[in-house]
Amino acid sequence: MSAEVVLFWIMATTATAGGFGMLISKKSVHSALWLALTMISLALLYVAQGAAFLGVVQVVVYTGAVMMLFLFVLMIIGVDSAEVLVETLQGQRVLAILAAVGFAALLIGGFARSMPGEPIGLAQVDAASGGNVRAIAFSLFSDYVMIFELTAALLITATIGALVLAYRERLGEHRTQRDLSRDRFRSGEDPGPLPAPGTYARHNAVDTPALLPDGSLATNSVPSPMIARGTVRPIDVAAAEEVRQIAEGKDL
Amino acid sequence: MIVSAELVASEALVPQAATGIFEFSWLLVVLPLLSALVLILFGSQLGRFAPWLGVASMGVITVIGLLLFFAMISLPVSDRLIIDSIYEWFAVGDFVVPVALQLDPLSMSFVLLVTIVGALIHVYSVSYMSHDPNQSRFFAYMNFFVAAMLLLVLADNYLLLYVGWEGVGLASYLLIGFWQYKPSAAAAAKKAFIVNRVGDLGLALSVMVMVFVFGGVTFELIDTEIGSAPSWVPLVLGLLLLLAACGKSAQFPLQSWLLDAMEGPTPVSALIHAATMVTAGVYLVVRSADIYELSNFASNAVLVVALISLLMGAVIGAAKDDIKKVLAGSTMSQIGYMMVAAALGPIGLVFAIFHLITHGFFKSNMFLGAGSVMHALHDEVNMRRYGALRKVMLLTFLTFGAGYLAILGVPPFAGFFSKDSIVEAAFSESLFVGALTTLGAGLTGYYMTRLFVMTFFGKPRWPKDSHPHESGPLMTVPMILLALGSVFAGVVLYSGKRFEQWLEPVTGFIEPVLPFPKLWLEVMLISVVFLGAAIAVWQYRSVSATTPEKVSVLTKAARADLYGDKFNESVLMRPGWSLSESLARFDTHGVDGVVNAVGATAKFTSWRLRRLQTGYIRSYAMFVAVSMVVLMGILVLVLQA
Amino acid sequence: MSADAYLTLAGVLFSIGLAGVMLRRNSIVAFMSIELMLNAANLVFVTAARYWGVIDGQIAAFIVMVVAAAEVVIGLAIIVTIYRTRNSASDDAPNLLRW
């Protein structure tokens, strides 16, 4: 029972759990986090297999950059977009699961035993170059330099592509502050700033709505994500009564 | 049924090459052809001169024909077979077909008949067709017909004969349907052509058999080789040639077109459907006499067909009120006589041609007379509206009368000699055949008298304002000349056995042997004819202006052409029609159905298949995954096996 | 230890990723499933490198990571653009190329 075996089984479990978690999470942010778990487990597995450099790169680049990129985009798009679990296409779910299971069976049954016997191990290769990093460096910059250059070009292209895609051309004239202000007054709505939360209330927390003179809630005094999340503090009925009395000029 | 009697020694003909005047015999065919071409192309420019061009070419032809005839007479008998080779048409290995003209007594007789009668009818047509706007086209067609007919009789091989055969068929079609705007004329032309075609099939097949068996088609070759051919060859050839002759000569069972052919102008009926084209069948049979001699069955078939046609034509002609149709039925009957004679072999072949020539004269004479009568009464053809025309059209009456007496066989008119000779030959063959021909003679007497009486005697039944009058000289002179032929041709040709000796080298001649004295025959014939005439005179002493409805079954049948058309329709036309209809149905529903079904299937499958294009990436991914699983599964299985 | 287990794990992870692509409607989550598949492939590469005792497998895995990074950049940019036009990140929205 070597250390590697133990490590493998623990990491394998977490990786698989992360995969399933990603698969069945309702909220997309949770899926991203489960995937991050899987990736870190895989990083450890890489290290266990003698690819130390790769393991570090996995954590730094893949988990640290790529997954963070995913999370940023999720936040741009909106974290509250929950997905309905009802499938619109007929038979899609059944067939998909069947296909996936079948595929797994084939892969495992057909190819899992394609590398029989003991692995040769990377000790010699590493020793010949003076370490894992050096071994990779020597190979990358001599045998695979063309691929390296091409990948570099690919990265540059990707950057430019992202710039192009994200670029939004200004379709109309630049609206100055004067324009915005004039529109605000012309629209007929209340041009004043939004009421601060907690006005006329005993509490000035952000999640407490302000009360209008007649005792009803001023919904525009609380940030709308809070309303969407349902975390607005309910008003105190006694306090509302008190407010009404004050408004009517009665002394407390 | 060929009676083997003593063979009169006949001199064998030795083929000669064409020299002197005979080298120009090709003009006979080419000149009318050229004038036809000129008339077709430049007819409108020629205007009033156009008909005279047609007449002129006929005149030149006649002169050339006479010159050739006199040249031939001056030759010794054994030299009277001249082959004028013009060029070689084509050669396929050993099979060589020349374009060459054969001048011998048989073809010369036809040449004279066609050119003389043809020229006279052309002159007649100048006056008859003077009111027609398309005269140049008419004369072009007539000249073309003469060219084709002469090619037919002058050809020295069956294939060239076939060219002329087709040519006269085409000319007949064009001329019957000359007044194209008349639907009845167009239908009649079509009918004639189609029925002719059936006969042409026989001729074509016989040419094929000849090529197959003999490797050549010249008369010379066939006549020499037929003796050594397998026994089926004369039989098959005889029957096929009979089929061809029936088509052209309107014999049973291909007779239905002749009566309808009367839709064409009367000169056409006179020239083509009386004197020349319809006799081409007889020419064919006589020319192929060597073939028929070798097959009893074929000769008997000709005899049977001829007898049926003889009686059928007479019966039909006896019931028709249309003067031209009576004459057409008469033609059919008379050709039956000629075919009877031809079928009897060497005892009758000469008489067949003899009767053909005399018939050419008196029948075309009568047709021209009928044309004259029609012209006088504004193209009326119904004899029930004629009557007492002898008082107004004396010349027509006299010339027609000459033809009438000739066809009846009254001595010394032409028909007496020719027809009596045929009856004689018939009796020498068998009493039954002789009896039938005698019956035919009686019927001829009946219907011709009926026609004559209804047209020229009795009370006038024509409308008061018609004012019939005699025709002009351009019409009457040809009629007179032909009438003279009707009167004298018989005497001239028969006396001294002139004609027999003339024609004998080609056909051979055996003197017929009668079982009873010849005088009895003549007396019997005259009495039978007189009896028929008397019945007709008595029946038609008063003629009703409208066709009587209550008539005997036979009359009704005769009026319907003895149901010949009905038979053709029900046995031939309707099955063919339903066949083509079913094929058309098969095409629309079957073939089109299959094609449409292919299209519909494609549409159906694509309608279903397009559902796969859901637009969702995940369904596409699923397809990829499923196919991957399947393929990999197969791969794994194969690898493990 | 032997390579079988690693390969099996890689197969399982790959299938999970495949199922994710087919089942999840949120485009970003589907994209993440593709990333999972790439990771599974990387695992196979590394296992093979160790098995055969050559460094080339690790190099391959490295290149795959780089390419995956580039791909993520573009892919997410596209998703953001679609979101801007459609106002929805659901996979069901961009379905115009349907029958």
A96-149 residue pLDDT tens: 899 999 999 988 988 888 888 888 888 888 888 888 899 999 999 999 999 999
Do the Cβ atoms of B58 and B143 come closer than 8 Å? yes
In this predicted structure, which of A209-218, B213-222, B366-375, C4-13 has the lowest mean pLDDT? A209-218
CATH number at residue C65: 1.10.287.3510
CA distances A130 to A58, A133, A144, Å, are 22, 8, 19
Residue with tokens 């995954």: B625
Residue B613 contacts C where some CB pair is shorter than 8 Å? yes
Give B614's contacts in chain C (Cβ within 8 Å).
95, 98-99
**Which residues in chain A touch residue C10, judged by CB atoms under 8 angstroms apart?**
107
What does the H/E/C string look like for B225-239? HHHHCCCHHHHHHHH
Q: Tell me how close the Cα of B576 comes to any Cα of chain C, in angstroms.
A: 52
Q: What angle do CA A90, A92, A95 make, to 5 degrees?
A: 125
Could you tell me the pLDDT band of residue C88, with boundaries at 50, 70 and 90? low
CB contact under 8 A, A103 and C18: yes
Position B5 scores a pLDDT of 35
CB B460 within 8 A of CB B388: yes
Helix (H, G, I), strand (E, B) or coil at A1: coil
In the DSSP assignment, the letter for residue B7 is: P
Residues in B closer than 8 angstroms to A112, CB to CB, are none
Which chain C residues contact residue A110 at CB under 8 A?
none
Coil vs helix vs strand at B90: strand
Residue in the block written with tokens 């407010």: A243
CB contact under 8 A, C95 and B615: yes
Contacts of A137 in chain C (CB under 8 A): none
Name the residue among C19, C62, C78 with its Cβ closest to that of A100. C19
Gap from C63 CA to chain B (nearest CA, Å): 25
Phi then psi for residue B68, to 5 deg, are: -60, -40
Rounded distance between C-alpha atoms, residue A233 and residue A207, angstroms:
6
Name the residue facing A38 among C25, C36, C88 (closest C-beta). C36
Kindly state whether C28 is in contact with chain B, defined as any CB-CB distance less than 8 angstroms: no
Residues of C in contact with A147 (CB under 8 A): 63
Q: Mark the ranges of chain B whose per-residue pLDDT is less than 70.
A: 1-12
Residues of B in contact with A100 (CB under 8 A): 625
- Our CA-based measurement puts residue C68 at a distance from the nearest CA of chain B, in whole angstroms, of 19
Quickly count: other Cβ atoms within 10 Å of residue B490's Cβ: 30
Stretch (H or E) spanning A211: strand A210-211
Amino acid B298 reads A
Q: How far is A99 from chain B (nearest CA, A)?
A: 5
* Average pLDDT score over chain A: 84
SS3 category, B547: coil
Q: Does C97 touch chain B (CB under 8 A)?
A: yes
Q: Which chains does chain B touch, 3 or more C-beta pairs < 8 A?
A: A, C
B612, closest residue in chain A (CA to CA): A89
Residues of A in contact with B636 (CB under 8 A): 106, 109-110
pLDDT of amino acid B48: 81
What does the alpha-carbon distance between residue B431 and residue B438 come to, in Å, rounded to a whole number?
10
Query: Which tens digit of pLDDT belongs to each residue from A135-194?
Result: 999 999 999 999 999 999 999 999 999 988 888 777 778 888 888 888 888 888 777 777
Note if the pTM is more than 0.80: no
In whole angstroms, what is the distance from residue B288 CA to residue B308 CA? 22
Point out the residue among C15, C22, C42 whose CB comes nearest to the CB of A107: C15
Residue B633 and residue A106: Cβ atoms within 8 Å? yes
Name the residue facing B618 among C30, C96, C98 (closest C-beta).
Answer: C30
Split at pLDDT 50, 70, 90, the class of C97 is low
Which residues in B have their CB inside 8 Å of a CB on A? 614, 616, 618-619, 622, 625-626, 628-629, 632-633, 635-636, 639
| Neighbors of chain A by Cβ distance (3+ pairs < 8 Å) | B, C
Sign, CA dihedral C53-C56-C59-C61, equals negative
Helices B183-214 & B158-176 angle (0-180, nearest 10): 180
Q: Which of A92, A102, A106 sits opposite B618 (nearest CB)?
A: A92
A167 close contact with C: CB closer than 8 A: no
Tally of CB atoms within 10 A around B570? 11
CB contact under 8 A, A99 and C22: yes
Non-local (6+) Cβ contacts of B494 within 8 A are B354, B417, B418, B421
- Provide the domain count of chain C: 1
pLDDT digits (tens, 9 = 90+) for B257-310: 898 888 889 999 998 887 788 889 999 999 988 888 888 899 999 999 999 999
A223 Cα to chain C: minimum distance (Å): 21
Q: Domain of C26?
A: 3-97
Tokens 């075996």 belong to residue: A5
pLDDT of residue A204 exceeding 70, the answer is no
Number of C-beta neighbours around residue B257 at 10 A: 25
Distance CA C45, CA C39 (A): 10
A221/C contact by beta carbon, under 8 A? no
| Other Cβ atoms within 10 Å of B489 Cβ, number | 24
Contacts C21 to B, Cβ<8 Å = 617-618, 621
Ramachandran category for residue B236: left, alpha or beta (phi over 0 → left; psi -120 to 50 → alpha): alpha
Q: For residue A233, count CB atoms less than 10 angstroms from its CB and return exposed for 0-12, middle for 13-18, buried for 19 or more.
A: middle
- CA–CA distances in Å: residue B197 to residues B191, B203, B206, B373, B563: 10, 10, 14, 33, 21
Give the DSSP letter string of B13-74: P--EE--GGGGGTTHHHHHHHHHHHHHHHHHHHHGGGHHHHHHHHHHHHHHHHHHHHHHHHT
Q: Apex CA B166: angle with CA B165 and CA B167, to 5°?
A: 90
Whether C41 and chain A come into contact, CB under 8 Å, resolves to no
Helix axes B105-128, B280-287, angle to 10 degrees: 180
Q: Answer whether C53 touches B (CB < 8 Å).
A: no
Q: How many CA atoms lie within 13 A of B445 on its CB side?
A: 21
Closest alpha carbon to B498 in B599, B289, B353, B340:
B353
